[in-house]
A = this chain, B = another copy of it.
Amino acid sequence: MAHLPSRSFQAYQVFSANTNVGKTILSAGLVRAAAALSVGADKRKTKAFYLKPVQTGYPVDSDARHVKRYAPLAETRQLYAYRDPVSPHIATNDPPKDSVVLEETKKALRTFKESLMTNEKGWALLETAGGVNSPIMSGELQSRFYRPLRLPTVLIGDSLLGGISTTLTSYESLHQYGYDIPALLLFDNKSLNHQFLERHLTNAENRPQVYVLPPPPTKLEDPEADAAQLQEYYQATENYFRHVVEDLAQSHQQRLDRLESLGDKARDLIWWPFTQHKTVKEVTTIDSAYGDIMTTFVPPVKDNAIKSNTGTTTNNLQEGSWREMFDGCASWWTQGLGHGSPELTRSAMYASGRYGHVMFPECSHEPAVQLSETMLRTVGQGWASRVFFSDNGSTATEVALKMALKSSQDRYRNLGQKAGRIEVLGIDGGYHGDTIGAMNACAPNTYNAQVTWYKAHGHWFQPPTVVYKNGQFRVDIPASMAADQKPVPPVLINNLSDVFAQPSPADARLDLYRTHIRSTLERLVHEEKREFGALLMEPVLMGAGGMIWVDPVFQRTLVDEVRRFKGFGEALPPKSAEVAQSKNTWQGLPVVFDEIFSGCWRLGRKSAADMLQTQPDIAAYAKLLTGGLLPLALTLTSDSIFNTFLSDVKIDALLHGHSYTAHPMGCAVANTSLRTYERMEAHGDADQARRDWGADAASDGTSGVWSLWDQKVVERISHLDHVEGVVPLGSVLAIQLKPEQGRAGGYASMLSQKVQHQLRVTESPNSETEVAIFGRPLGNVVYMIASQVSTREQLAKVEKILLRTLESH
Neighbouring B residues of A86 by C-beta, 8 Å? 161, 191
A134 to chain B: closest residue by CB: B165
Stretch of A217-225, A433-441, A485-493, A496-504 at the chain-chain interface: A433-441
A333 sits at the interface (CB 8 A): yes
Contact A349 B672 (CB under 8 A): no
Contact B364 A335 (CB under 8 A): no
Neighbouring B residues of A286 by C-beta, 8 Å? 355, 358-359, 363-365
Residues 736-752 of A at the B interface (beta carbon under 8 Å): 747-748
Contact A348 B349 (CB under 8 A): yes
A94 sits at the interface (CB 8 A): no
Whole-angstrom distance from the CB of A276 to the nearest CB of chain B? 4
Contact B672 A358 (CB under 8 A): no
Neighbouring B residues of A258 by C-beta, 8 Å? 366
Contact A658 B134 (CB under 8 A): no
In the assembly, what is the distance between CA of A647 and CA of B289, in Å?
A: 32
A533 to chain B: closest residue by CB: B452
Contact A661 B273 (CB under 8 A): yes
A178 sits at the interface (CB 8 A): yes
A546 sits at the interface (CB 8 A): no
Contact B346 A358 (CB under 8 A): no
In the assembly, what is the distance between CA of A203 and CA of B680, in Å?
A: 12
In the assembly, what is the distance between CA of A263 and CA of B366, in Å?
A: 10
In the assembly, what is the distance between CA of A276 and CA of B498, in Å?
A: 46
Contact of A387 among B150, B270, B352 (CB under 8 A): B270
A629 sits at the interface (CB 8 A): yes
In the assembly, what is the distance between CA of A168 and CA of B635, in Å?
A: 37
A45 sits at the interface (CB 8 A): no
Neighbouring B residues of A372 by C-beta, 8 Å? 265-266, 269-270
A393 to chain B: closest residue by CB: B659
Contact A630 B340 (CB under 8 A): no
* Interface residues as binary, A5-38 with B (CB distance below 8 Å gives 1, 0 otherwise): 0000000000001111000000000000000000
Whole-angstrom distance from the CB of A805 to the nearest CB of chain B? 20
A150 to chain B: closest residue by CB: B354
Contact B650 A263 (CB under 8 A): no
Contact A205 B346 (CB under 8 A): yes
Contact A663 B631 (CB under 8 A): yes
A423 to chain B: closest residue by CB: B453
Extra contacts, 19 of them, besides A134-B162, A205-B671, A398-B436 (Cβ < 8 A), are A132-B169, A165-B170, A169-B172, A176-B352, A265-B369, A284-B362, A285-B363, A286-B364, A287-B366, A289-B354, A332-B659, A338-B356, A340-B355, A395-B435, A422-B453, A434-B655, A435-B435, A446-B651, A450-B651
Neighbouring B residues of A327 by C-beta, 8 Å? 358-359
Contact A356 B368 (CB under 8 A): no
Task: In the A-B complex, list the 5 residue pairs whose CB atoms are closest, starting with the nearest.
Answer: A131-B165, A273-B657, A178-B354, A436-B437, A19-B162
Contact of A335 among B265, B352, B356 (CB under 8 A): B356
In the assembly, what is the distance between CA of A652 and CA of B657, in Å?
A: 31
In the assembly, what is the distance between CA of A672 and CA of B164, in Å?
A: 24
The contact sample of 30 A-B pairs, CB cut-off 8 A, is A17-B166, A130-B165, A131-B162, A132-B169, A133-B169, A166-B170, A175-B350, A205-B347, A205-B671, A262-B364, A262-B369, A265-B369, A265-B373, A272-B362, A272-B363, A276-B650, A279-B648, A284-B364, A288-B354, A332-B661, A334-B659, A339-B355, A348-B348, A359-B776, A395-B435, A406-B451, A436-B436, A437-B453, A440-B453, A629-B663
A637 sits at the interface (CB 8 A): yes
Stretch of A71-79, A192-200, A240-248, A516-524 at the chain-chain interface: A192-200
Contact B266 A369 (CB under 8 A): yes
Whole-angstrom distance from the CB of A797 to the nearest CB of chain B? 20
A360 sits at the interface (CB 8 A): yes
Whole-angstrom distance from the CB of A415 to the nearest CB of chain B? 9
A665 sits at the interface (CB 8 A): yes
Whole-angstrom distance from the CB of A784 to the nearest CB of chain B? 14
Most chain-B Cβ atoms within 10 A of its Cβ — which of A141, A169, A654? A169
* Interface residues as binary, A344-386 with B (CB distance below 8 Å gives 1, 0 otherwise): 1111111111111111111111101100110010000000011
Residues 428-472 of A at the B interface (beta carbon under 8 Å): 433-438, 440, 446-453, 457
Whole-angstrom distance from the CB of A546 to the nearest CB of chain B? 14
Contact A666 B630 (CB under 8 A): yes
A296 to chain B: closest residue by CB: B363
A394 sits at the interface (CB 8 A): yes
Residues 643-695 of A at the B interface (beta carbon under 8 Å): 645-663, 665-666, 668, 671-672, 679
Neighbouring B residues of A150 by C-beta, 8 Å? 354
A563 sits at the interface (CB 8 A): no
Contact of A178 among B87, B333, B351, B388 (CB under 8 A): B351
Contact of A18 among B162, B350, B385, B447 (CB under 8 A): B162
Contact of A273 among B89, B393, B658 (CB under 8 A): B658
Neighbouring B residues of A395 by C-beta, 8 Å? 391-392, 394-395, 434-435
Q: A341-B356, A361-B273 are in contact. Are A630 and B392 (CB under 8 A)?
A: no
A344 to chain B: closest residue by CB: B352
In the assembly, what is the distance between CA of A362 and CA of B204, in Å?
A: 30
A333 to chain B: closest residue by CB: B659
Q: A269-B385, A338-B356, A365-B262 are in contact. Are A161 and B436 (CB under 8 A)?
A: no
Contact B274 A657 (CB under 8 A): yes
In the assembly, what is the distance between CA of A807 and CA of B565, in Å?
A: 61
A703 sits at the interface (CB 8 A): no
Neighbouring B residues of A635 by C-beta, 8 Å? 271
Neighbouring B residues of A401 by C-beta, 8 Å? 452-453
In the assembly, what is the distance between CA of A629 and CA of B276, in Å?
A: 32
Contact of A90 among B132, B192, B354 (CB under 8 A): B192
A135 sits at the interface (CB 8 A): yes
A208 sits at the interface (CB 8 A): no
Neighbouring B residues of A270 by C-beta, 8 Å? 364, 368-369, 372, 386-389, 662
In the assembly, what is the distance between CA of A698 and CA of B635, in Å?
A: 50
A146 sits at the interface (CB 8 A): no
Most chain-B Cβ atoms within 10 A of its Cβ — which of A86, A141, A284? A284
Neighbouring B residues of A285 by C-beta, 8 Å? 363-365
Neighbouring B residues of A650 by C-beta, 8 Å? 276, 279, 748
